[in-house]
Structure 1
Amino acid sequence: METGAGIAAPFGRLLRELRQSRRLTIEELAEASGVSGRAIGDMERGRSRRPHRGTITALAQGLELDEATHARLLAAARAARPGARPAESGRASPHTLPRGVRDFVGRRGGN
């Protein structure tokens, strides 16, 4: 489970754990998901750290994951990407607006 950094990434460990808990070989998961066995092996070993969302979805379908476990796998993949920042405590910056705000209500124009 070696990587260039010395240990397999959390995404790779989680993927392997999920595959093994379902008693699937890499080849069986490859067949069930449509993702190549080599790609799965590379992800598990941490050699491929930036799987695409579609690849993760295909793996989740092949593993027959529930929504919560699929979301956990997606989060682990996002965290493995270079430049990824850990999730914050849920507090928004005081300098940002919530998404979807297109205008302010109750303001008068032309002061």
Structure 2
Amino acid sequence: MPASAGVRLRGVDRDSLAALFEEAIARASAGEHDAVVTWTAADGHWVQISWHVINLAYPHRRSPDAVLAGVTRPEYVELREWAADSHVTFDHGAHDPAALADFVLACGERLWRPAA
């Protein structure tokens, strides 16, 4: 059964996010391969984390390579799919939860910053 938390992403720090990756990985190791943690922000943006996938709201028409240029992507994180004005999905190797947390936080800042 998926876990869900209504937490504003801006209020989530690196350690808390890394702990959620650790939880998702541990739950998968215990046999809960479908466990997902979801945040939904007040502005409608969201993030889903599982033991092997990161899925983020994607309010852009340009490709993630353009929008996320300059965001450091860990070597074991690969773009799986994206749909304009919908979502972007990355596979990850369940390594280094702190690096995964940094990646998600950097993506959130780039994807959801207010228009100038």
- Is TM-score (shorter-chain normalized) higher than 0.5? no
TM-score of the superposed pair, with normalisation by structure 2: 0.30
Q: Which protein is richer in strand relative to its size?
A: 2
Q: Which protein is richer in helix relative to its size?
A: 1
TM-score of the superposed pair, with normalisation by structure 1: 0.31
